[in-house]
Chain A
């Protein structure tokens, strides 16, 4: 039977492939989740960043291995520990033909803090900057409040918008709504905006004024296809040429398929469970009047009841690494004590629950996006099953990603499945976003939906943030990381290994930050 279905699938696939010629200069990409906005300064979200990077560029751009490289700034230097001077490229024009100058840099950095209602604000990347000044048309000086080693890495996420095109009546110039309509979307990137409809295709075409190497594609379409199997079918039939996150169940077949190639990137993104740690009646918890997650023993029970190897093997198809830490061990500031994932211990978990006063357990709702992360709902269901085994009856509430993020921001979940990509190569950004005490004005704890708060961690992170020496900073970060993990403030599950599947004849450099950028996809000669 198995042989039969295998043959059938292959012959069907072969028939479909033969019939589909591919237009040489158009590229169709099946993305797993659509951007929540085209405003490149609205929502720190990988899907938003990757569409922004087709049209816009930052001063400093991360390469595929998360190392900062010159982009709109051809060079930069620290003239003092708090002062950075960026020399801008002089040969750059925006896609509408207007020249790129220091004024655009000033406008873009000024705009970040003015964008209202951001669910996860870009101030995360600019809060260390005290001032941005233009020395001349092509030189910009940034001053930080204190010595801040990560500035170059941080500003890789702040893209430069045209101060002319993005000007408007609102304090932030063109509003998020206007940008979503395509008004003022003028950048210096390799592509320029053509059209976007929420829920449908995002289309860009080659920017004729691009200063760098012209991209290979005349037109690029990014089509949101949330169902992984539907994306896989579309790739096999040739409707799309590139797909994000091929289903883990299909990967071995894809690797053996002569019409497809696979691209991988280094692991970086951690999938975690955030736990509501506010002293309140938690919305998704029943069977108890107080919030049991305030008790570290309960959190530890939930932590050690997860069989991470089981999830990696059976749900992720081996395309992940079990995580005991928030960043992989080779990152600066990871905790050596947590480098290996903890082994599952159901008996101890039950004992901890009893010790904490919940011998009969309690009920909890685990929130999960449906289609945002690789196998997200299946991971959530598996964790629900593992928690139920120790007496914590878990129900999974899976929602479409925009609904999920809205619920998360309104703190409607007692526990939720999240993921955090780290493109900086060190733990500071992850810890700042996930476990620093939430403070929107300061841009701290911006993705800390469980509202974990520990003054010791906050102090260590503040200290690390102003330590210029890498080794010293790494040591402080390790310490902060270990405090959070020993406190079971957040539950790391695994690190995703990013994967793409492409039609044969295309190659792609898989980026550690998981962005699918059309300029990185080229025809193999």
Chain B
């Protein structure tokens, strides 16, 4: 004997993620951006295994192999410098892969940090309203009135050099954007029925904010985070270019560009040029992906 359970007809129900994926892949440019991004990120993450040389191991650098043009073959290491070497004898390709790692780590960690702080501040302001809202949003306004690079410069000159300090400085200049967006979205969500229901159940504000409101405020925040990744990479490159970001023996993309600058006028273009192209590619790729994500996630711009 068996109780025959009514078999539900099999209907292909798309999960939200599947829908997002199919919508995303419709746009060729965005798909191209995503592939480009993967092509950049994967070798960077795997740099210690795929890079011909470890450019951070200064004991391995040979000053007699400095400033070699692309395609030169190393006499001591037996490898080919596909993108040439810089003024210290670093393989430019390896330096780009390692430098990109630094840039990506700084960008991801700082954007995540800024997202967490910004979302908390924005949701808190929206949920409580009144004086709390006014106070927090004035702090945000104050923060946004400073030019971001200037603020980061001041912070780094106080904190000193180092990757951790760059991350702290970038969080400090980015969180306000997330706070403002989170508040705007949360103001709408606050008056929805599910929040009112949660209030009637006397749930704690903490729970309402993070368990109920936050998930519904995420889409715009994700869009901002994507675009902000590109900003963070550019900002880190700017700071390192100015010589106050990462240590000189562990160059990121910005510092590689700065190091090559002095060779530019004498025709050794590759030292600055190649890291510059890499920087441009990654920013373009992230922006392509971010722009299209925004189009999909914004209901008003849906076709």
A residues in contact (CB < 8 Å) with B = 2, 5-6, 9, 227-229, 232-233, 236, 247, 249-250, 252-253, 307, 310-311, 313-315, 370, 377-378, 381-382, 384-386, 388-389, 393-398
A307: nearest residue on chain B (CB-CB)?
A: B63
With A and B bound together, what is the CA distance between A227 and B266 in angstroms? 15
With A and B bound together, what is the CA distance between A384 and B247 in angstroms? 13
Q: Check: B78 CB closer than 8 A to any chain A CB.
A: no
Please name all residues of chain A whose beta carbon is closer than 8 Å to the beta carbon of B266 when the two chains form the complex.
Answer: 247, 249-250, 252-253
Supply 16 further A-B pairs (C-beta < 8 A) apart from A307-B63, A310-B64, A398-B248: A9-B267, A229-B265, A233-B265, A236-B265, A247-B263, A247-B266, A249-B266, A250-B266, A253-B265, A313-B64, A314-B66, A384-B249, A385-B61, A385-B63, A388-B57, A395-B247
A378:B88 contact, CB within 8 angstroms: yes
B58:A388 contact, CB within 8 angstroms: yes
Q: 26 A-B residue contacts at CB 8 Å?
A: A6-B267, A228-B262, A229-B265, A247-B263, A249-B262, A249-B263, A249-B268, A250-B262, A250-B265, A253-B266, A314-B64, A314-B67, A315-B63, A315-B66, A377-B248, A384-B249, A385-B59, A385-B63, A385-B89, A386-B63, A388-B58, A388-B59, A389-B59, A394-B58, A396-B248, A398-B248
What's the nearest-Cβ distance from chain A to residue B247, in Å? 7
Please name all residues of chain B whose beta carbon is closer than 8 Å to the beta carbon of A395 when the two chains form the complex.
Answer: 247, 249
Please name all residues of chain B whose beta carbon is closer than 8 Å to the beta carbon of A5 when the two chains form the complex.
Answer: 267, 269
With A and B bound together, what is the CA distance between A27 and B64 in angstroms? 39
B248-289 toward A: CB 8 Å interface, digit per residue (1/0)?
110000000000011111111100000000000000000000
A315:B264 contact, CB within 8 angstroms: no
Q: Tell me whether A2 and B249 are in contact in the complex, defined as CB-CB below 8 angstroms, given that A247-B265, A252-B266, A385-B61 are known contacts.
A: no
Chain B, interface SS category? loop
B58:A384 contact, CB within 8 angstroms: yes
Please name all residues of chain B whose beta carbon is closer than 8 Å to the beta carbon of A252 when the two chains form the complex.
Answer: 266
Please name all residues of chain A whose beta carbon is closer than 8 Å to the beta carbon of B64 when the two chains form the complex.
Answer: 310, 313-314
B267:A385 contact, CB within 8 angstroms: no
| Most chain A CB within a 10 A radius of its CB, from B64, B87, B248, B269 | B248
Q: Check: B220 CB closer than 8 A to any chain A CB.
A: no
With A and B bound together, what is the CA distance between A310 and B69 in angstroms? 18
With A and B bound together, what is the CA distance between A233 and B262 in angstroms? 10
With A and B bound together, what is the CA distance between A250 and B57 in angstroms? 28
| Most chain B CB within a 10 A radius of its CB, from A310, A311, A370, A385 | A385
Please name all residues of chain A whose beta carbon is closer than 8 Å to the beta carbon of B268 when the two chains form the complex.
Answer: 249
With A and B bound together, what is the CA distance between A5 and B59 in angstroms? 33
Please name all residues of chain A whose beta carbon is closer than 8 Å to the beta carbon of B52 when the two chains form the complex.
Answer: none
Q: Tell me whether A385 and B69 are in contact in the complex, defined as CB-CB below 8 angstroms, given that A249-B262, A314-B64 are known contacts.
A: no
| Most chain A CB within a 10 A radius of its CB, from B87, B243, B266 | B266
With A and B bound together, what is the CA distance between A393 and B249 in angstroms? 12
Please tell me which one of the listed residues B87, B261, B265, B267 contacts residue A2 in the complex, with CB atoms under 8 A apart: B267
Please name all residues of chain B whose beta carbon is closer than 8 Å to the beta carbon of A236 when the two chains form the complex.
Answer: 265
Please name all residues of chain B whose beta carbon is closer than 8 Å to the beta carbon of A233 when the two chains form the complex.
Answer: 265
With A and B bound together, what is the CA distance between A371 and B69 in angstroms? 26
Please tell me which one of the listed residues A6, A247, A314, A385 contacts residue B262 in the complex, with CB atoms under 8 A apart: A247
What's the nearest-Cβ distance from chain B to residue A201, in Å? 20
What's the nearest-Cβ distance from chain B to residue A442, in Å? 35
With A and B bound together, what is the CA distance between A393 and B57 in angstroms? 9
Interface bin, chain B:
20 to 34
Q: Tell me whether A9 and B265 are in contact in the complex, defined as CB-CB below 8 angstroms, given that A385-B61, A385-B88, A388-B58 are known contacts.
A: yes
What's the nearest-Cβ distance from chain B to residue A252, in Å? 7
Q: Tell me whether A396 and B249 are in contact in the complex, defined as CB-CB below 8 angstroms, given that A9-B265, A229-B261, A233-B265 are known contacts.
A: yes
With A and B bound together, what is the CA distance between A394 and B249 in angstroms? 9
With A and B bound together, what is the CA distance between A249 and B88 in angstroms? 13
A386: nearest residue on chain B (CB-CB)?
A: B63
Please tell me which one of the listed residues B59, B87, B267 contacts residue A378 in the complex, with CB atoms under 8 A apart: B87
What's the nearest-Cβ distance from chain B to residue A65, in Å? 31
With A and B bound together, what is the CA distance between A382 and B90 in angstroms? 11
With A and B bound together, what is the CA distance between A435 and B288 in angstroms? 61
What's the nearest-Cβ distance from chain A to residue B163, in Å? 13
A2: nearest residue on chain B (CB-CB)?
A: B267
Please name all residues of chain B whose beta carbon is closer than 8 Å to the beta carbon of A313 when the two chains form the complex.
Answer: 64
Please name all residues of chain A whose beta carbon is closer than 8 Å to the beta carbon of B63 when the two chains form the complex.
Answer: 307, 310-311, 314-315, 382, 385-386
With A and B bound together, what is the CA distance between A448 and B64 in angstroms? 32
What's the nearest-Cβ distance from chain A to residue B162, in Å? 11
With A and B bound together, what is the CA distance between A310 and B64 in angstroms? 6
Please name all residues of chain B whose beta carbon is closer than 8 Å to the beta carbon of A9 when the two chains form the complex.
Answer: 265, 267
Please name all residues of chain A whose beta carbon is closer than 8 Å to the beta carbon of B264 when the two chains form the complex.
Answer: 229
B249:A381 contact, CB within 8 angstroms: yes
What's the nearest-Cβ distance from chain B to residue A182, in Å? 26
B177-219 toward A: CB 8 Å interface, digit per residue (1/0)?
0000000000000000000000000000000000000000000
With A and B bound together, what is the CA distance between A80 and B54 in angstroms? 67
Please name all residues of chain A whose beta carbon is closer than 8 Å to the beta carbon of B87 when the two chains form the complex.
Answer: 249, 315, 378
A7: nearest residue on chain B (CB-CB)?
A: B267
What's the nearest-Cβ distance from chain B to residue A3, in Å? 9
Please name all residues of chain A whose beta carbon is closer than 8 Å to the beta carbon of B89 when the two chains form the complex.
Answer: 314, 385
B249:A370 contact, CB within 8 angstroms: no
With A and B bound together, what is the CA distance between A153 and B67 in angstroms? 43
With A and B bound together, what is the CA distance between A389 and B89 in angstroms? 14
With A and B bound together, what is the CA distance between A326 and B87 in angstroms? 27
What's the nearest-Cβ distance from chain A to residue B90, in Å? 10
A-B pairs with lowest CB-CB distance, top 7: A388-B59, A229-B262, A385-B58, A385-B61, A249-B266, A310-B63, A229-B261
What's the nearest-Cβ distance from chain B to residue A508, in Å? 21
B41-72 toward A: CB 8 Å interface, digit per residue (1/0)?
00000000000000001110101101101000
What's the nearest-Cβ distance from chain A to residue B65, in Å? 9
| Most chain A CB within a 10 A radius of its CB, from B63, B64, B67 | B63
With A and B bound together, what is the CA distance between A380 and B263 in angstroms? 18
With A and B bound together, what is the CA distance between A293 and B268 in angstroms? 39
What's the nearest-Cβ distance from chain B to residue A176, in Å? 23
With A and B bound together, what is the CA distance between A377 and B64 in angstroms? 17
Please tell me which one of the listed residues A250, A382, A393, A398 contacts residue B88 in the complex, with CB atoms under 8 A apart: A382
Please name all residues of chain B whose beta carbon is closer than 8 Å to the beta carbon of A393 when the two chains form the complex.
Answer: 59
With A and B bound together, what is the CA distance between A397 and B263 in angstroms? 23
With A and B bound together, what is the CA distance between A307 and B66 in angstroms? 14
Please name all residues of chain A whose beta carbon is closer than 8 Å to the beta carbon of B247 when the two chains form the complex.
Answer: 395-397
What's the nearest-Cβ distance from chain A to residue B269, in Å? 5
With A and B bound together, what is the CA distance between A228 and B267 in angstroms? 16
Please tell me which one of the listed residues A232, A311, A381 contacts residue B265 in the complex, with CB atoms under 8 A apart: A232
What's the nearest-Cβ distance from chain A to residue B66, in Å? 5
B59: nearest residue on chain A (CB-CB)?
A: A388
Please name all residues of chain B whose beta carbon is closer than 8 Å to the beta carbon of A314 when the two chains form the complex.
Answer: 63-64, 66-67, 89
Please name all residues of chain B whose beta carbon is closer than 8 Å to the beta carbon of A377 when the two chains form the complex.
Answer: 248
Please name all residues of chain A whose beta carbon is closer than 8 Å to the beta carbon of B267 when the two chains form the complex.
Answer: 2, 5-6, 9, 253
Please name all residues of chain A whose beta carbon is closer than 8 Å to the beta carbon of B265 when the two chains form the complex.
Answer: 9, 229, 232-233, 236, 247, 249-250, 253
With A and B bound together, what is the CA distance between A250 and B264 in angstroms? 9
Please name all residues of chain B whose beta carbon is closer than 8 Å to the beta carbon of A307 when the two chains form the complex.
Answer: 63
Please name all residues of chain B whose beta carbon is closer than 8 Å to the beta carbon of A385 when the two chains form the complex.
Answer: 58-59, 61, 63, 88-89
With A and B bound together, what is the CA distance between A313 and B66 in angstroms? 10
B273: nearest residue on chain A (CB-CB)?
A: A5
